[in-house]
Structure 1
Amino acid sequence: MTYALAVTPINIAKRTAPFAVPDTILVDMARRLYELRKVRDAMLGDALFSEPAWDILLDLFISEHEQRRLSVSAVCIGARAPSATALRYLTMLQDADLVERIRDARDGRRSHVQLTALGRLRMTNLLGRLIEA
């Protein structure tokens, strides 16, 4: 005899209202997570762990708060991965509507990367959950 279990998935990432945590605390959490990744890689080896997409999202979240615009090349450096790998993850993040490229008005050869509204909301919710956990 088989039983079918009806499971209703809870999509926390699509919450409509961000957690009531001040932006400065969220950004501090993002900085701590980003720094911890660097320390972990230094202590345990960067060949064991690779999270370019997460590094990109953290870097963009922090830079937005600091009112810094990141070029595509700066995002690749911040991902701490080979350029081809970082660009592949950047494309996946774009396809997921979490980040967007904005062409530089002064130099058409350059693009900047920023979180989309959805990306900002999801990062805010995730960082808020980590703080409240």
Structure 2
Amino acid sequence: MGRKLREGKAAGVAPKLAVLARRLLKREREDNLEDNLEDNPEDTLEPVDLVPMAEFICSCRRLRDDVFGADFFGDPAWDILLDLYIGQSESRTMPGRMVSWNTTQRWVNVLEAEGLVHHAPGSDRLDRDIRLTEKGSTLMHDYLRRAARIV
């Protein structure tokens, strides 16, 4: 993917993040939330509300690769988790945007051992039907919700 295409895609995420920021600010005012980054059980953001934040993080990671080189940094497990989180909103079940399939297979085993991902029922170990577990979805949602409050 060319640099201009990536930058264009990253620019397309900015309006979505602005909408997300406005929603968060409105909810903070409505709920009289304390001005900190602590957990808030009252938070009602749905995963689909946080997809723009995950897309923004992915775009920033691709930009970092463009500037510093793709081989300079490596977080394949994080890339897989982000990709699966975004994929949930698109009814896509396998990572594939940022990490090669061979790398994905190695890291899926690690993520599965941690209880963060699983193969869909009826699929075999080589099948690409990989999904976040409830634990994985909850942790990603919590991370992205907190990250959105920082932005």
TM over 0.5: yes
1:38 to 1:81, Cα distance in 2 relative to 1, 3 A: same
Residues 30 and 61 in structure 1, CA contact (< 8 A), matched pair in contact too:
yes
Partner of 1:26: 50
1:118 to 1:82, Cα distance in 2 relative to 1, 3 A: closer
RMSD: 2.7
Partner of 2:90: 66
Q: Partners of 2:126 and 2:101 in 1: how far apart?
A: 21
Instruction: Give the structure-1-normalised TM-score.
Output: 0.71
**Structure 2: tracts of 5 or more residues without a match:** 1-38
Residues 99 and 116 in structure 1, CA contact (< 8 A), matched pair in contact too:
yes
Q: Partners of 1:130 and 1:59 in 2: how far apart?
A: 16
Alignment size in residue pairs? 112
Residue 120 (structure 1) aligned to one of 137, 142, 145: 137
Q: Partners of 1:79 and 1:18 in 2: how far apart?
A: 33
1:62 to 1:81, Cα distance in 2 relative to 1, 3 A: same
Give the letter for the 2:112 counterpart: Q
CA deviation map 1:34-72 (0-9, x unaligned): 1111111011111110010011001000010111232xx
Q: Partners of 1:88 and 1:108 in 2: how far apart?
A: 11
Superposed counterparts of 1:10-89, under 5 Å = 17=41, 19-70=43-94, 75=95, 77-81=96-100, 83=102, 85-89=103-107
- My pick for the range that moved more, 22-31 or 115-124, is 22-31
1:16 to 1:114, Cα distance in 2 relative to 1, 3 A: farther
CA deviation map 1:21-41 (0-9, x unaligned): 243331000011111111110
Specify the SS of the correspondent of 1:100: strand
Between Structure 1 and Structure 2, the one with more strand by share is 1
Instruction: Give the structure-2-normalised TM-score.
Output: 0.63
C-alpha displacement at 1:108, in angstroms?
A: 9.6
1:81 to 1:20, Cα distance in 2 relative to 1, 3 A: same
